[in-house]
Structure 1
Amino acid sequence: MVSDNRSNDNGKAVSYDTLSILAWVAVGILAVNVSYLVGEEVGGEYFESGADVLPLLSAFTIGFLKAGPTIFIAFALADFASFFGRCGKGDVFTARNLKTLRQGADSLIWAAVTSAIIIPAVLGWMDDETSRNIFSFTDLALGVGLMGFALHGLASVFEDAIALKDDNDQFV
């Protein structure tokens, strides 16, 4: 059986359940942030347009588009919260956890793509500018995308560990 605690440098135990709870708290904070971003777009349009439906739907869409990276990061954190929750119950090297790691990595990559490519391209297209900036690679977008690729690498190592565990379980 795998212990659900790991020691850090201070000698204090950090449990998987604690990591899961912290990830869920972060998901909640990001959900509030998304509602603020969307509300800011819709609220501003409401006062400008006099509550016309089409401009409000457009503002709602733009708000969700701008909040896209945050939404994808929240999805990744939700995956990691589930991952840590299962690890806290002793389910560590499982195919389900491998799938969860890959989903989290994919969410981080999509957050970067949304931030660096999709948002600038769509907003440039909507404003009908002649010289659109279709790429906006910030340090944050690059970092999040690279973290996603790094997690895919870690998932490959995790996959090998699962295969090794399965081989060992056959001998016992």
Structure 2
Amino acid sequence: MTSTPDTDSTLTGQARTFQVVAYVAAVTLAVQLLVLLKLLSLISPAADAFSHGDWTGFWEAAKPVFRRLVTFLPVVCYLGGLLAAAEIFGRVSEGELFSRANSKCLSEVGSSLLWGAAATALIVPILLGSIDGDWRFGGFHLEPETWVIAVVGGAILVLGRMMARAQSLSGENASLKAELSDFI
């Protein structure tokens, strides 16, 4: 079932609103990434060291660039989820409710939340430790909100997959009904 003519106008209105909110949030995050990265000011010393063949100086100058990039890894994950959510909202606002595309995007939202939480808790601390020359395990950074994001992300991922499975079963059921009616 991809579209219903009697879609609730409140639902479609909310979907339109949240689609706009999702796009505004995505643009805001993208702009923050560009502004906060300040890569041009960080890259210049590394480029100077590189052009002079000073590899030790290059590595020391490049560390802040790598650190900044690594710290934004969770944001990049969340940005993917925001864009997938915006796609869902757009389709729902057009009356497309239980579609394969919505199931897939729902799974993408959940996956993005899980990857963002994993990046925050584990991947970023390990990478930052490696950049700083600390090759030992840097430890978990688990805040309560990280747990919540991970669990909600898992729930959304499972719901997306459940929705896809329900659609598959519905299609099989419709096929069996058609075969049965042909048989009778």
Q: TM-score range by the shorter chain?
A: 0.7 to 0.9
2 CA distance for matches of 1:37 and 1:149?
A: 29
Percent of aligned positions with the same letter in both sequences? 22
1:122 Cα deviation (Å)?
1.1
1:131 Cα deviation (Å)?
5.8
TM-score of the superposition, structure 1-length normalised? Answer: 0.78
For 1:122, the equivalent position in structure 2 comes to 127
User: Is the helix fraction higher in 1 or 2?
Assistant: 2
2 CA distance for matches of 1:115 and 1:42?
A: 25
Which structure has more RCO (C-alpha within 8 Å, separation ≥ 6)? 2
1:114 Cα deviation (Å)?
0.8
2 CA distance for matches of 1:69 and 1:79?
A: 16
**Unmatched 5+ residue regions in structure 1?**
8-12
For 1:52, the equivalent position in structure 2 comes to 49
Preserved CA contact (<8 Å) 2:105 2:160: no
Preserved CA contact (<8 Å) 1:6 1:15: yes
1 CA distance for matches of 2:102 and 2:37?
A: 32
Pick aligned residue for 1:107 from 96, 109, 112: 112
Q: In structure 2, give the amino acid aligned to 1:109.
A: L
1 CA distance for matches of 2:135 and 2:103?
A: 45
For 2:30, the equivalent position in structure 1 comes to 31
Residue aligned with 1:128, SS: coil
**Cα gap change, 1:146/1:121 in structure 2, threshold over 3 Å: closer, same or farther?**
same
Preserved CA contact (<8 Å) 1:27 1:77: yes
2 CA distance for matches of 1:86 and 1:169?
A: 24
Q: In structure 2, give the amino acid aligned to 1:43.
A: S
**Unmatched 5+ residue regions in structure 2?**
51-57, 179-184
Q: What is the aligned residue count?
A: 165
2 CA distance for matches of 1:44 and 1:119?
A: 19
Residue aligned with 1:52, SS: helix
For 2:98, the equivalent position in structure 1 comes to 93
